[in-house]
Amino acid sequence: MRLDPPGAGDRSEGSHNAPRPESKPPMPFATRVLQICLAVLATGAVASPVAAAAADCGPQALGVSRIVEIDGGQRLALGLQTYPRALALRDREVVLTFDDGPTPGATSRVLDALKEECVRATFFLVGRHAEETPALVRREVEEGHSVGHHSYSHPARTLRLWSDATAKADIERGFAAVDKAGFGAAGPAPKIPFFRFPGFADTPELVRWLQDRGIAVFGADLWASDWQEMTPQAELDLVLSRLEAAGRGVILFHDSRPSTAKMLPDFLKTLKTRGYRVVHMVPGAGPTPVEDAKPGWTSATEAIIAKTLGKSKPREGRSNGN
């Protein structure tokens, strides 16, 4: 969803100042006050998911502690596992992100768990999956999550081995598929201008192309390694240990993974009991708070990509890797 910019409520006030036809009688004061109150209420309902969450959920729920606006105009490429810059979060703040869906079954359980705790997340969707299960995309939009993009076909050997023209066409097709499923129509630009490369395998040209269009590129600060087979308990222990070490960050999960769907309720409850707070990313005017990596930073994902690309021959079949 897109928040109204600050001052959106002023628009009704602006119309109040517009010239009125002479023939129209002045509006009674009580009616005008009522209209202003209704306008404020309506604006508040749209502009403040935090307030809505607080109203729907009791104090026991994790909820969303604050919203960060992502301004694609800042030419963003964020996430310490891949890029030497990160979204600047406060201590014990996390952003929840989910890749590769929507997937029947698992994505529904993930959405149920988020709803139960009044938490909002960012999903990076695979376009062809959005075409297959548009109802799940609509549900993500309706429940206030940010619906970002993760290419149309999610090639097993990443977009990096394709020509830039082919990769761009696939990314564009993904934008259109997700927006058509989630919002009923696709325009020239994605509704939610967030993109994560399949397998984090970007190219300088593709990053530049996305940034030129105001699309923010996301890596991740930490992850659950849920592309590997493990029990929900093992995944919970692993991601919590990594989070305790990092203290904060943008976390990558896969809503396509049953183990993630199963461990998520416990993960969210543990975040609450350990004093973590959830930040929700939405497109907006920013300024987006960013920070540089510490000296000596290196990419963790390049080694993984090299391993992935070393496993099979170019331009082979497609699957859902990370």
**Contact pattern for Zn ion over residues 281 through 320, marking x by CB under 5 A:** ----------------------------------------
Q: Which residue has the tokens 């994790």?
A: 62
Query: Which range, of 30-38, 42-50, 96-104, 236-244, touches Zn ion by CB under 5 A?
Result: 96-104
Query: Which range, of 78-86, 95-103, 241-249, 282-290, touches Zn ion by CB under 5 A?
Result: 95-103
- Considering beta carbons, is residue 39 or 264 the nearer one to Zn ion? 264
Query: Which range, of 8-16, 94-102, 262-270, 302-310, touches Zn ion by CB under 5 A?
Result: 94-102
Q: Which two tokens stand for residue 213?
A: 């269009």
Query: Which range, of 12-20, 97-105, 134-142, 237-245, touches Zn ion by CB under 5 A?
Result: 97-105
- Considering beta carbons, is residue 174 or 198 the nearer one to Zn ion? 198
Single out the residue of 252, 254, 149, 153 nearest to residue 192, CA to CA: 149
Least CB distance from residue 293 to Zn ion, whole Å?
Answer: 23
Total residues at the site for Zn ion (CB under 5 A)? 3
Burial of 135 (0-12, 13-18, 19+ CB in 10 A): exposed
- Considering beta carbons, is residue 123 or 276 the nearer one to Zn ion? 123
Query: Which range, of 79-87, 98-106, 155-163, 309-317, touches Zn ion by CB under 5 A?
Result: 98-106
- Considering beta carbons, is residue 98 or 276 the nearer one to Zn ion? 98
Least CB distance from residue 130 to Zn ion, whole Å?
Answer: 13
Least CB distance from residue 301 to Zn ion, whole Å?
Answer: 12
**Contact pattern for Zn ion over residues 174 through 213, marking x by CB under 5 A:** ------------------------x---------------
Least CB distance from residue 100 to Zn ion, whole Å?
Answer: 4
- Considering beta carbons, is residue 99 or 226 the nearer one to Zn ion? 99
Distance CA 272, CA 265 (A): 11
Distance CA 92, CA 271 (A): 9
The secondary structure of the chain in percent helix, strand, coil, rounded to multiples of 5, reads: 45, 15, 40
In the 3-class helix/strand/coil scheme, how is 45-101 assigned residue by residue? HHHCHHHHHHHHCCCCCCCCCEEEEECHHHCCEECCCCCCEEECCCCCEEEEEEECC
CA end-to-end span of the chain, whole Å? 25
Q: Which two tokens stand for residue 9?
A: 């409520």
CB-facing half-sphere around the CA of 52: CA atoms within 13 A:
16
Q: Which two tokens stand for residue 183?
A: 């919002």
Q: Which two tokens stand for residue 178?
A: 């997700």
- Say whether residue 99 binds Zn ion (CB under 5 A): yes
Amino acid letter at 42?
A
Least CB distance from residue 200 to Zn ion, whole Å?
Answer: 9
Binding residues for Zn ion (CB under 5 A): 99-100, 198
